[in-house]
Amino acid sequence: MNQAAGGKSVWSRRALLRNLIVLTGAGVSSSLLKYGAGGIPEILGQAGAARGGRGAAAARGTRLIMLGTQGGPNVNLMRAETSNVVVADGQPYLVDCGYGAVRGLVEAGIPLPSVQNVFLTHLHDDHTVDLAALLSLKWTGGNNVPQPVAVYGPYGTKAMVDGAIAFFKANADIRIVDEGRSVRPEAVFAGHDLTAATVTEVFRDERVTVKAVENAHFPDRAKEKMPYRSFAYRFDTPDRSIVFSGDTPYSASLVELARGADYFVCEAMTLGSRQQFAGNAGGANGGGESIGRHVLETHSSTEDVGRMATEAKVKTVVLYHLVPGANRGNATDDIYISEVRKTFDGPVIVGRDQLRIPQD
């Protein structure tokens, strides 16, 4: 059903458009001609990009844009939490949505209304916490015709999306009454629980094919006690293949998924950082011991990254989910690179927020 066809909503929309033109002048009206019926959100998105962003992604071909490269639940002002976008022929596919992802999209020049497919590697909050903000802002910014969004991920993703919608129910109820909106969030936003015990195609459209597989982030003893799982993803387009490790230690399934990929985007922890966590694991504090053990068992050292890259024969390694990341101490880019190159001969790129691969 085309919600814009309703009399009152069309009037409100036209009034809003008219006001926008009055307020901002001829630039907006030419944008309206360009963007047509879905104009308001696109205009607002483009305006935001023009103020602080990098401009829209390339119209043709495939590009990786890193939005957040900090490893773990660590809010800081240098790196956002984990999030990446694959842009294929101008269409964004968001992979994880940690804190800072929404601002990162704006900075990258990607209008929020254009984000219609989201893939979650797993449901730790450093990969998901901006999802409620993203959906709420998309619904509110989407005027009467918010674009649909499908969120894909392991078990619990559907419940998380339902919870995000519950989070902004009051906002939706108020605006439905007060602004004459007619599309409820649950009509356009949906979560989908995937299973991928072995390499499995989970999504396909005219631009990309997406495969997933369970990685090794959650140890077997944890999986016995819970239904939650953790994925790696592979995006194949006509011109590129990009693999995201998600969070994981060495994983034979990830090696299989990544075979021959152009870009192996892999989480990485320096050897020095691992030694620090090993120290915590042996410490007197019970909580510290558990967290230290968790970090060591469930994440990849730089040497693990190189080993998987070599076994999978990938062309280029891109490091993300960096630990220590912002709290880098002596962990310069050269340290990450030299440690990976102990076990991998090819090119290594240390990720940073807003890095575009390839560059403009």
Evaluate whether 241 touches 234 at the Cβ level (below 8 Å): yes
- Least Å from the CB of residue 124 to Zn ion: 4
CA distance 56 to 58: 7
Nearest to 217 by CA among 232, 202, 227: 232
- Segment 242-301, which members bind Zn ion (CB under 5 A)? 247
Number of residues near Zn ion (by CB under 5 A): 3
**Amino acid at the residue 114:** S
Nearest to 24 by CA among 51, 55, 2, 62: 51
DSSP conformational letter for 61: S
Which of 160, 188 has the CB closer to Zn ion? 160
Which of 31, 301 has the CB closer to Zn ion? 301
- Least Å from the CB of residue 118 to Zn ion: 16
Which of 132, 183 has the CB closer to Zn ion? 132
Q: Which stretch binds Zn ion (CB under 5 A): 119-127, 154-162, 177-185, 251-259?
A: 119-127
Mapped onto helix, strand or coil, the DSSP state of residue 99 is coil
- Least Å from the CB of residue 3 to Zn ion: 38
Cα radius of gyration (the chain)? 21
Q: Which stretch binds Zn ion (CB under 5 A): 116-124, 166-174, 188-196, 277-285?
A: 116-124
CA distance 293 to 340: 22
Q: How far is CA 345 from the centre of its chain?
A: 28
- Least Å from the CB of residue 210 to Zn ion: 20
Which of 116, 276 has the CB closer to Zn ion? 276
Q: Which stretch binds Zn ion (CB under 5 A): 120-128, 218-226, 306-314, 325-333?
A: 120-128
Which of 241, 300 has the CB closer to Zn ion? 300
CA distance 120 to 135: 14
- Least Å from the CB of residue 81 to Zn ion: 8
Which of 126, 236 has the CB closer to Zn ion? 126
Based on the shown chain and the rule CB under 5 A, indicate whether residue 79 belongs to the binding site for Zn ion: no
Q: Residues 96, 107, 126, 353: which binds Zn ion (CB under 5 A)?
A: 126
Q: Which stretch binds Zn ion (CB under 5 A): 41-49, 121-129, 176-184, 186-194?
A: 121-129
Q: What is the token pair recorded at 88? A: 């294929």
Which of 109, 246 has the CB closer to Zn ion? 246
Evaluate whether 201 touches 210 at the Cβ level (below 8 Å): yes
Tallying the residues shown for the chain, one arrives at: 360
Helices (H), ranges, the chain: 7-24, 26-35, 39-52, 101-107, 131-141, 157-167, 169-179, 185-188, 220-223, 252-258, 271-281, 286-298, 302-312, 333-340
Q: Residues 79, 103, 124, 234: which binds Zn ion (CB under 5 A)?
A: 124
- Least Å from the CB of residue 9 to Zn ion: 41
Which of 42, 126 has the CB closer to Zn ion? 126
Binding site for Zn ion (CB under 5 A): 124, 126, 247
